[in-house]
């Protein structure tokens, strides 16, 4: 591990391709900085300007601050030549030459599935993403996603709920919390998996970074599950990367009247495998499927009636009252009880859905 990769990325006009060529020739960042001028010029893509910048390099105050943040956050670096570089990712074309990692990537993470989807999902989409992530994680499958709002967040939460591993791939530096409301989730993931990025510390979340990072999400995974995606969604970019990398691609069917399902439904029409259960994925990936028996949670007769009526479609308490013919004063304590038991969930706007 070397923080000198931070310095190399700060060299003007340094690109991933040029850095990869330098690493192929010199193996380590230390050797790159110690190389003779002519030896640097012999590397493909390295001209007098870049070679001179390497030979005359002096660390800036900004780079010193990046070092401090890296130490404070426990950030590590790993090059594609390192034995600890993720095996799945190393085997794709355009593999990033360096990864910045907060947390730890383990050998068991080779059995991974990427779960992706829109940032503006329906309640059904979030429930499905969390459910699939939870059940797959219970079987020892690492969940990979992008820490974005919506489906990504639900997927990471499902894996964490199963007390299993999950990896978040960022479109910015690993020292940046993005989106900011996911700071706590970021910290949880770094303690139960890894937060990773190919971008240098301090890199802000430019829009152009996200299509690029999508190849890493699919590259780390054996397959990709698209849960909800509108037309022209960035999800389709990840699916394209996955297909190019020889990864399996799955999609969850959605309601035909939901904009958030136009993209995923089109994927299915185009030949992507539709899935309605974890077992469907395991069969395609040749992973032994083990059904986990749910523990029975005791409920009252009225609670059972509420559960039978609720689904993934959000409902107001008034709608439940009308259906069950029970006064609100009786219903509200039952809803609270079911929420405490984890059987239902209250959404913003005082709506309720059944959890998985």
Give the bridge partners for 89, in sequence order.
Answer: none
pLDDT class for 122, splitting at 50, 70, 90?
Answer: very high
**Which has the minimum average pLDDT: 43-47, 142-146, 343-347?**
343-347
Average pLDDT, the chain: 93
For 271, phi then psi, to 5°, come to 115, 0
Rounded distance, CA 227 to CA 17, Å?
Answer: 33
**Which has the minimum average pLDDT: 96-110, 223-237, 303-317?**
303-317
Rounded distance, CA 202 to CA 63, Å?
Answer: 9
Torsion of CA 206, 211, 212, 214, to 10 degrees: 120
- Statement: residue 163 has pLDDT above 70: yes
- With tokens 């399902």, the residue in question is 261
Give the bridge partners for 226, in sequence order.
Answer: 116, 251
Burial class (CB in 10 A: 0-12, 13-18, 19+), 72: exposed
- Statement: residue 63 has pLDDT above 60: yes
Q: What is the pLDDT of residue 5?
A: 93
CA distances from 330 to 333, 334, 337 (A): 6, 7, 12
Quick: pLDDT tens for 188-228: 999 999 999 999 999 999 999 999 999 999 999 999 999 99
Q: What is the mean pLDDT of residues 279-301?
A: 79
Quick: pLDDT tens for 227-246: 999 998 889 999 999 999 99
For 99, phi then psi, to 5°, come to -120, 140
Q: What is the pLDDT of residue 157?
A: 96
- Statement: residue 176 has pLDDT above 90: yes
Q: What is the mean pLDDT of residues 291-317?
A: 82
What kind of architecture, by CATH, is found in domain 107-285? 3-Layer(aba) Sandwich (3.40)
- Statement: residue 290 has pLDDT above 70: no
- Statement: residue 353 has pLDDT above 90: no
- Statement: residue 173 has pLDDT above 70: yes
- Statement: residue 301 has pLDDT above 80: yes
Beta strands in 164-246 (DSSP E): 166-169, 193-197, 223-226
Rounded distance, CA 339 to CA 105, Å?
Answer: 35
Quick: pLDDT tens for 18-59: 999 999 999 999 999 999 999 999 999 999 999 999 999 999
What kind of architecture, by CATH, is found in domain 1-59? Orthogonal Bundle (1.10)
What does DSSP say about strands 166-169 and 142-145: parallel, antiparallel, or unpaired?
A: parallel
Domain boundaries, the chain: 1-59, 107-285, 301-354
Contact 118, 235 (CB under 8 A): yes
**Which has the minimum average pLDDT: 5-14, 113-122, 265-274, 310-319?**
310-319
Q: What is the pLDDT of residue 293?
A: 56
What does DSSP say about strands 344-347 and 351-354: parallel, antiparallel, or unpaired?
A: antiparallel
Residue 56: both structure tokens together: 């005359």
Q: What is the mean pLDDT of residues 56-80?
A: 93
Output the pTM of the full model.
0.86
Domain 301-354 classified CATH 1.20.1250.40? Answer: no
């Amino acid at each position: 591990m070397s923080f000198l990769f931070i310095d190399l990325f700060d060299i003007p006009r340094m690109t991933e391709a040029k850095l990869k060529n330098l690493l192929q020739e010199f193996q380590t960042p230390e050797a790159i900085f110690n190389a003779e001028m002519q030896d640097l010029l012999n590397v493909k893509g390295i001209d007098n300007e870049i070679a001179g910048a390497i030979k005359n390099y002096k660390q800036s105050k900004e780079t010193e601050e990046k070092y401090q943040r890296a130490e404070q956050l426990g950030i590590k670096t790993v090059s594609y030549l390192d034995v600890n570089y993720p095996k799945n990712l190393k085997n794709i074309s355009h593999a990033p030459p360096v990864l910045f990692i907060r947390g730890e990537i383990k050998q068991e993470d080779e059995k991974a599935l990427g779960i992706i989807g829109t940032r503006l999902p329906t309640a059904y989409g979030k429930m499905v993403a969390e459910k699939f992530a939870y059940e797959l994680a219970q079987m020892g499958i690492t969940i990979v996603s992008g820490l974005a709002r919506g489906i990504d967040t639900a997927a990471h939460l499902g894996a964490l709920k199963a007390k299993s591993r999950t990896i978040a791939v960022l479109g910015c530096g690993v020292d940046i919390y993005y989106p900011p409301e996911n700071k706590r989730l970021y910290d949880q993931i770094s303690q139960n998996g890894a937060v990773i990025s190919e971008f240098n510390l301090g890199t802000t979340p430019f829009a152009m970074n996200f299509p690029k990072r999508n190849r890493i999400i699919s590259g780390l995974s054996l397959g990709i599950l698209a849960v909800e995606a509108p037309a022209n969604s960035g999800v389709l970019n990840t699916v394209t990367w996955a297909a190019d990398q020889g990864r399996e691609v799955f999609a969850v069917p959605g309601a035909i009247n939901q904009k958030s399902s136009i993209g995923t439904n089109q994927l299915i029409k185009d030949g992507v495998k539709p899935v309605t259960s974890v077992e469907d994925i395991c069969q395609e990936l040749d992973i032994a499927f083990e059904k986990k028996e749910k523990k029975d949670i005791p409920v009252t007769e009225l609670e059972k009636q509420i559960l039978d009526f609720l689904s993934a479609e959000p409902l107001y308490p008034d709608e439940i009252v009308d259906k069950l013919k029970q006064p609100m004063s009786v219903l509200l304590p039952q809803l609270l009880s079911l929420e405490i038991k984890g059987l239902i969930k209250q959404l913003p706007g005082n709506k309720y859905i059944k959890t998985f």
